[in-house]
Structure 1
Amino acid sequence: MPQPVRSYAQTQIAALAAGSDSGALAVEEARRLVRRRPVPAEHLTLLAIAQIKAGQAEQAGTTIQIAGQRGWRDPVAQEAVLRLALAAGDKPEAARRYAALFLRAATPNELLQEVGPAVLAETGGAGQRTLVDIISGTDRWNEAFLHRGAQVMTPATFTDIAAATIARGTRFDCAVMAQTIKVLGQRDAASAERLRAAAGGQCENVAG
Structure 2
Amino acid sequence: MIGRLIWYVCLLAIGIATFALQLDRQSALAPQLAGTVPAPARGFAQSQLAASALQSSDPQRAVEEAGFLVRSRPIPAESLRLLAQAQFAAGQNEQGFLTIQIAAKRGWRDPVAQEAMLRLAIAAGDEAEAAKRYTALFLQSGTKDELLIEIGSTLFESVADPAAQTLIEILSGSDRWPDTFLRRGARVLPAAAFVAITRDAEARGAEFSCRTLNDVTPVLASRNQDAAAQWVTFTDEAC
TM-score normalised by length of structure 1: 0.92
Counterpart of 2:112 in structure 1 is 76
1:43 CA displacement: 0.5
Counterpart of 1:107 in structure 2 is 143
Counterpart of 1:159 in structure 2 is 195
* Structure 1 unaligned blocks of 5 or more: 204-208
Letter in 1 for 2:200: A
Runs of 4+ in 1 over 6 A off after TM superposition: none
1:37 CA displacement: 1.0
Letter in 2 for 1:177: L
1:12-33 Cα shifts (integer Å, max 9, x gaps): 1111111111111111111111
Letter in 2 for 1:125: D
Counterpart of 1:19 in structure 2 is 55
Q: How large is the RMSD of aligned CA atoms in angstroms?
A: 1.5
How many residues are matched?
203
Letter in 2 for 1:90: D
Counterpart of 2:221 in structure 1 is 185
Using CA pairs under 8 Å that are at least 6 residues apart, name the structure with larger relative contact order, 1 or 2: 1
1:117 CA displacement: 2.1
Q: Select the residue among 101, 104, 119 that pairs with 2:155.
A: 119
Secondary structure of residue in 1 paired with 2:125:
coil
Q: Select the residue among 91, 99, 107 that pairs with 1:55.
A: 91
Distance in 2, Cα, partners of 1:31 & 1:119? 34
Identity across aligned pairs (percent)?
48
1:111 CA displacement: 0.9
Distance in 1, Cα, partners of 2:58 & 2:95? 17
Name whichever of 27-36 and 172-181 sits farther off: 172-181
Letter in 1 for 2:91: G
Choose 1 or 2 for highest CA Rg: 2
1:119 CA displacement: 2.1
**Is 1:40 the equivalent of 2:76?**
yes
Counterpart of 1:206 in structure 2 is none
1:135-186 Cα shifts (integer Å, max 9, x gaps): 1111122111111101111111211211111111212111211121232122
Q: Select the residue among 184, 191, 198 that pairs with 1:148.
A: 184
**Is 1:136 the equivalent of 2:176?**
no
Distance in 2, Cα, partners of 1:166 & 1:198? 10
TM-score normalised by length of structure 2: 0.80
